[in-house]
Amino acid sequence: MGLRLRGKGQQSHKMVIFAAIFILTTLLILYGSNNTNDAIYSPFHVDTNHALKNTDLKKWAGKDGYVPVYGNKSMSLRCHHCALVTSSSHVLGSQAGEEIDRTECVIRMNDAPTLGYDTDVGNRTSLRVVAHSSVFRVVRKPNEFLNRSETNPVIIFWGPPNKIGKEAKGTLYRLIQRVSMTYTNLSCFSITPNKMRRFDSLFHRETGQDRQKSHSWLSTGWFTMVIAIEICDNIKVYGMVPPNHCGKKPVSKKMPYHYYKPRGADECVTYLQNESGRRGNHHRFITEKQVFARWAKQYNITFTHPNW
């Protein structure tokens, strides 16, 4: 751990910036409120020269893959034990909150809330991995996601370089920058273009499918699992179903895709439809879990709620 921040309290600046964020997000909410898909991911060229000779993710990891959005911090988060809390409704009723909060590092995804769900998912967050398409939803609730931690939490943003890259001059990047300047206890990083390509290559190596040619989108779960393996010696995953879960007969009972959207899409319907989607781009949630199952044998990964 041991992230140190340089920020010196510039209170009045903070207030101005905070007000600016508020106005900006309000406008963006008005414009972008139907954009709730995790999946807008414009593919870019897969550079196979970057493919690795070995799949040891511990070695694959590199500090240079993450650039600070503001300032010159480096991504130095390292943990012996991590709780990776998925956004699946399988966490509901688990009563795992206390156990999760006792874990050295707690990892969450996108805008998955803790408020109102802490008995099941806990209330600490050490690392949040956020898709470019979820940035607005995270920024919309600063008290929930940005300003609610005893320690110095880290946020890693992933997305196409033209959206979240340093050279991107777009609204999204400026928003991330403002967040990073405002909440000085937060350490915000974005994944470098080079590392984004390496995530693609990794998918190719692990699945035999070229991500672009197979019209696949990587999920936040994919990024989060890889990053967790990079930084954690031991990972306990909460709420992730095994790869064969949805193909089982009789068809498993309906479970919401996200624990915080009880009336939202069904998890298995979402997984199965994405897996078989051919036209347009789709998430390969089931394929990704087959890879996770292999990694679990290689690294110290266990799955609970359900256990597998």
| Helix extents (H) in 33-134 | 57-60, 97-102, 118-121
Rule CB under 6 A: is residue 222 a binding residue for ligand NAG? no
Binding mask 152-191 for ligand NAG (x = CB under 6 A): x--------------------------------x------
The one among 32, 40, 76, 101 contacting ligand NAG by CB under 6 A:
101
- Comparison of 2 and 45: residue with beta carbon closer to ligand NAG: 2
Residues 268-287 that bind ligand NAG (CB under 6 A): 270, 273-274, 277, 283
Q: How far is the CB of 265 from ligand NAG (least distance, A)?
A: 6
Cα→Cα distances 307→21, 62, 81, Å: 42, 31, 18
The CA distance from 17 to 170, in Å, is 17
Q: Is 243 exposed, middle or buried (0-12, 13-18, 19+ CB in 10 A)?
A: buried
Residue in the structure block whose two tokens are 């699945």: 207
Measured distance CA(184)–CA(173) in Å, rounded: 17
Residue 23 has φ and ψ, to the nearest 5°, of: -65, -45
Q: Which is nearer to ligand NAG, 82 or 164 (CB)?
A: 82
Residue nearest to ligand NAG according to CB distances in the complex: 273
Smallest distance, ligand NAG to C-beta of residue 49, A: 27
Distance (Å, rounded) from C-alpha 200 to C-alpha 222?
10
- 224 makes contact with ligand NAG (CB under 6 A): no
- Residue appearing with tokens 């909460």: 238
Separation CA 147–CA 182 (nearest Å)? 10
Tell me how far, at minimum, the Cβ of 28 lies from ligand NAG, in Å. 18
37 binds ligand NAG per the rule CB under 6 A: yes
Interface with ligand NAG: number of residues (CB under 6 A): 28
Residue number, 100 or 196, with CB nearest to ligand NAG: 100
Burial of 134 (0-12, 13-18, 19+ CB in 10 A): buried
Rule CB under 6 A: which residues touch ligand NAG? 18, 37-39, 72, 80, 97-98, 101, 118-119, 122-123, 142-143, 147, 152, 185, 233-234, 265, 270, 273-274, 277, 283, 299-300
